[in-house]
Structure 1
Amino acid sequence: MDINVDYSSYTLEELYSAAESINSEAYPDRAQEIHKFIKEKEAQLQTQPEVAPSSRVGTQASRIDRLFAVVVDGLINILASLPLIFYFGLDVFREPTLQVTLVSFLYGFLIFAVLHGYLLYKNGQTIGKYLLSIRIENVDGTKADWKKIAFLRLLPIMLIYQFSLGFIGPLIAGLINPLLIFGKSQRCLHDYIANTKVSYCAD
């Protein structure tokens, strides 16, 4: 018995499946109807606008986008550090004295505040994060306060790097800190310290 089927409610995948399974010789009209709906739905897909980036707002930033943001910030910070290097000379930093270490630490913190302070205060972003449309958030999805970012997220890692003995500082701050992003929660050590995450935001 021939049963009427409403193909208009089928998804494109269901229509593809129906087109493959139907006996077009036994049911030519039904096969023609299926192909008609396939063409209509394919045309609809072609005319649909692309998904707006804003649809990602609130979702956790991908590792690659966080990496690009860090690279941008790193290049900016290197350029900003050139005056200090020229002043002391590169040789001084191979075996820095306590004075050089303290000055470098204060200079780095000040430069970071000058370059990124406004964006951090307003949006929870560095320049790199601003360009990638991502921001630092609390784990509940609210924008992280600039004081939390500066004194819990940034300062501890800088202190570990500058004042830990031997290779311990670079190991923790330069290797362990970023490698933790490959964990399930995609958060670095400084995220765990500050109880933050990085998510997409509106442009």
Structure 2
Amino acid sequence: MSKIGLYFGTFNPIHVGHLIIANHLVEYSDLDEIWMVVTPHNPFKNKSSLLENHHRFELVYRATEQYPKIKPSDIEFKLPQPNYTVFTLAHISENYPNHQFSLIMGEDNLQSFHKWKNHETILENHDIYVYPRISEEKQSHQFENHPKIHLVDAPIIEISSTMIRNGIKHQKNVQPLLSKEVWEYIDEMNFYKK
């Protein structure tokens, strides 16, 4: 049975930081593959700057093409909205019974994990791999020492999609923050320029 890590995000756009984390997890943990799950729309994100689903999926597809253990996934596009992670996990586990699915999240998301819909069900059935985020001090959380939660010593990346979108809008050179294929598509389609 393959162990698959699900890395959810709007990926608006996907950048080298996402790839560094995904690659680190697939190479230095017991995960066999990482699926980059492009989320259709997060109610907490500003929709006006969000590229259409198919464009963000195309960016993830292009970014991951040269990484055989990292794959793009549009599984959430087909699910009713608004959607919750617990429903995605149930759906994906049912459709891929030969895989064991784990969640990948940043340390900041772990702080609010207890507020997620049916978080107990998620923890009962799935491992969670947590990568570090920049913070002044290590924050404790209620899931410390939980057997299903694995803190991964991944590189700390200080790149954000917001920073990249703002850079493009203000005609800054953001090419080093994106894979060549992603930059070419963004440039060709004139994304984020307004």
| TM-score over 0.5 for the pair | no
TM-score, normalization by structure 1: 0.24
Larger Rg: 1
Query: Higher helix share goes to which structure?
Result: 1
TM-score, normalization by structure 2: 0.25
Query: Higher strand share goes to which structure?
Result: 2
